[in-house]
Structure formats: structure tokens, C-alpha cells
Amino acid sequence: MSSFLRKSVALIVIAGMAGFAALSPALAANAVFTGRVLDSDGVTPRAGVVVTLVGDTPDRVYRSEPTRNEGAFRIESAPAGAYALIADTPAGAFLADGSLRLREGTNNPLALTLNAGAQPNYQSDPTGAAGTNGLPAWARWTIAGAIGVAAVLLVINATEDNETRASDF
């Protein structure tokens, strides 16, 4: 195989991996985040509360529909990752958690207890159900792509034709 052909194939592979790495955040599975919003007694459901996940950039904001009489909320559109959790009530907004981590797929439900004049209390599975699953899928794919690109470059470097010829002496 000629040096030109090897380099062309390597560039095509690299371009494909880079394109896949760029698209991988869009391909990542979403987190399913559910729970109930409760009054300060920890038992009575709160209606009319919008639960919001706020990510690290302005385009990463995901809201639930307002809770109904049972106080239940559901957000399915957020990708796995770290978020601030806000409960927006008719009486005002509460920052429930500044560093909630959601994993891909269904997370354990969360119970938010809203106390007037205080930050809401929330309870989850102590095993970290809404918690840490390491790096998000897009980051794992990006790392894997970078490793693949490095491997292709090493193969090209190791198999290049030696273009200088030995002298006849």
C-alpha cells in the first residue's frame, strides 16, 4: 500500500471519528428524573410546582410540567450530568440542590420537602441513585475517539515507507 493511500485512509478514519465525537453528546441517552414535591410536613403533596434542572450552560435548562394534586414531577429530556435543582412555587423559587448528578436512564425518585423561609429538604436513595456514574457518555466516547486517533497515527508512523534509499557504496 502506498504512503499516499495509507495517509488518505488515516485522514478519512480521523475525520469520521472526529465527526462521531462531535455528535456523541446528541446521541447520549437521557436521564429520567422523577419524584414528588411535598409541603413542609413532609406528607402533603404540593400542586403547581415546576421542578427545573439547570446545567452549566444557558442551553441546559430542563423543566417539568407543573405538579398536580399528587405533587408528582417528571423530566425526561435532560442528558446525564450535573445540575442545580430548583423548585419554582407560586410563593417563590427554592434551590434544592446545587450539585445533583443524574445518570443515564431512570434515576431513583426524589422527594422534595419545601419549608417556608428555608431551603427545601430532599431525600433520595442513600446509595446515590441520582448520583455518580463516572463520566457522561459523550465524554467516554470523546476519550475513546482520541485513543483511536492516536492509535491510527502510531500505525501510520510505524508503517511509513522509508523514502531514502541506501547508497550503492
Grid cell 450539585 is found at 99
Picking from 90, 85, 44, 50, the residue whose alpha carbon sits closest to that of residue 66 is 50
152 Cβ partners below 8 Å, 6+ apart?
10, 13, 14
Query: Which pLDDT score is estimated for 29?
Result: 73
**In sequence order, what are the residues at sequence separation of 6 or more whose Cβ sits closer than 8 angstroms to the Cβ of residue 40?**
113, 114, 115, 116
CATH top-level class for 30-123?
mainly beta
Q: How far apart are CA 117 and CA 43, in angstroms?
A: 18
Residue 129's pLDDT is what? Answer: 39
pLDDT of 130? 40
**pLDDT in single tens digits along all 169 residues of the chain:** 566 666 666 667 666 665 655 554 445 578 899 999 998 888 999 999 999 999 888 788 999 999 999 999 999 989 998 999 999 988 888 887 778 899 999 888 989 888 765 544 454 444 343 433 455 666 667 787 778 777 677 667 766 655 555 555 5
Supply the pLDDT for residue 125. Answer: 41
Nearest-Å Rg of the Cα atoms of the chain is 25
Please state, in angstroms and rounded to a whole number, the distance separating the CA atoms of residues 133 and 46.
Answer: 30
